[in-house]
Amino acid sequence: MRIVGVGSAFPRHYYKQEVLVQTLKHFWRDRLPKPEALERLGERMTVEGRYLARPLDFYENLQTWGEANNAWIEVGLELGEQALCRALVSAGLQPRDLGAIIVTSVTGIAAPSLDARLINRMGLSPNIRRTPIFGLGCVAGAAGISRAADFVRGCPDQAAALLSVELCSLTLQRDDISKAHLISSLLFGDGAAAAIITGSSLELSGPEIIATKSIFYPDSEHVMGWNISEKGFHIVLSPDVPKVVLRHMGQDVDEFLGEQGLARSSIGSWIMHTGGPKVLKATATALGIEETDLQASWDCLRKVGNISSTSVLLVLEDVFRNRRPVPGTWSVLAAMGPGFCAELILLRW
């Protein structure tokens, strides 16, 4: 099983972080007791800018969840098609070569789901196996690769696609000025990414998927997720997230690698979800590595912010294109998300 192609796509609308901070200050106007706090929060995110699904004035006039979700479908299909096409080109495959497609998002809903609509747009096989995923949040980029690997393990002559589409800006809430929502409005951005995973009978190049592991932490639902009301998605984002990383990441990775006869010192490349500056620092501390060992994740965070499940695929794409390890190098790809949970993938280049 190998990851043989990765591709990404972004909306046309990109804004520097300082522009977004000023726009949000205007958006909330007199609701903010200390508007200057928003500027301090913006600086702490270490994000230079982010892509948005729509131009800034769209959010000022946004009234209903239905309007936001309609935009999610329209923009999501456009970006999803672009990202999937780029991943297929990267792999040297055609749309009809796919035997399965997994589509994940936690920022909108649709029935028929995005994967069904993409069959019509892209000419995918009418016999393709479809799995839409909602609710895994940030972890879904890694979990989706694992589920695609499960499929091609059983069908070694097949190719599967994971597509992540996250338009976090469309969850903006006018009446929510909680600290969690302020942070999310300054951290999360929009985009899409796709990865192509093939079975062992297809002789294509790319890092080999050696092992995967899913980990659930009981009684941790409060750490991350959404509260859903008639106005849409309201972020649940506990300040305990970095503590959870510190408590579990090192031990979980050690156990995972130990099952394969490896240790942390065996790993030459870390492909980690861009949870935010505190999460990335906690990850480095938990793993006993330098922050520079997570440079691809830091660069992704700086350029486009956290894009939920899409982010770890963007880091993977950067490694594919710009930081490709020498053959034989071991890599760990990992993400954490609502549940609270983690997904670990062991790769060999």
Secondary structure of 21-63 in HEC code, one letter for each residue: HHHHHHHHHHHCCCCHHHHHHHHHCCCCEEEECCCHHHHHHCC
Q: What angle do CA 181, 176, 187 make, to 5 degrees?
A: 20
Tell me which residues are annotated as active site: 138
Same domain, 150 and 240: no
pLDDT band at 265 (very low <50, low <70, confident <90, very high): very high
Same domain, 212 and 193: no
| Mean pLDDT, residues 121-130 | 96
Whether 6 and 90 have beta carbons less than 8 Å apart is answered as yes
Same domain, 96 and 189: yes
pLDDT of residue 189: 97
* Structural domains counted in the chain: 2
| Domain final residue, candidates 131, 164, 198 | 198
pLDDT of residue 117: 96
| Domain final residue, candidates 141, 164, 198 | 198
Same domain, 51 and 127: yes
Same domain, 137 and 277: no
CATH of the domain at 284: 3.40.47.10
- Determine the 3-state secondary structure of 325 from DSSP: coil
Same domain, 116 and 43: yes
| Domain final residue, candidates 140, 175, 198 | 198
Which residues, at least 6 apart from 319, have a Cβ–Cβ distance to it below 8 Å? 269, 271, 296, 325, 331
Could you tell me which of 68, 101, 91 has the C-alpha nearest to residue 190?
Answer: 68
- Determine the 3-state secondary structure of 3 from DSSP: strand
Same domain, 140 and 233: no
Same domain, 152 and 87: yes
pLDDT of residue 40: 87
CA atoms within 13 A on the CB side of 81: 14
Same domain, 184 and 227: no
In a domain, 203, yes or no: no
Same domain, 234 and 174: no
Same domain, 43 and 94: yes
In a domain, 304, yes or no: yes
* pTM check: above 0.85: yes
Domain that holds residue 65: 2-198
Per the model's pLDDT, the better-predicted residue between 203 and 331 turns out to be: 331
Q: What is the pLDDT of residues 64-89, one digit of tens each?
A: 999 999 999 999 999 999 999 999 99
Same domain, 164 and 293: no
pLDDT of residue 250: 95
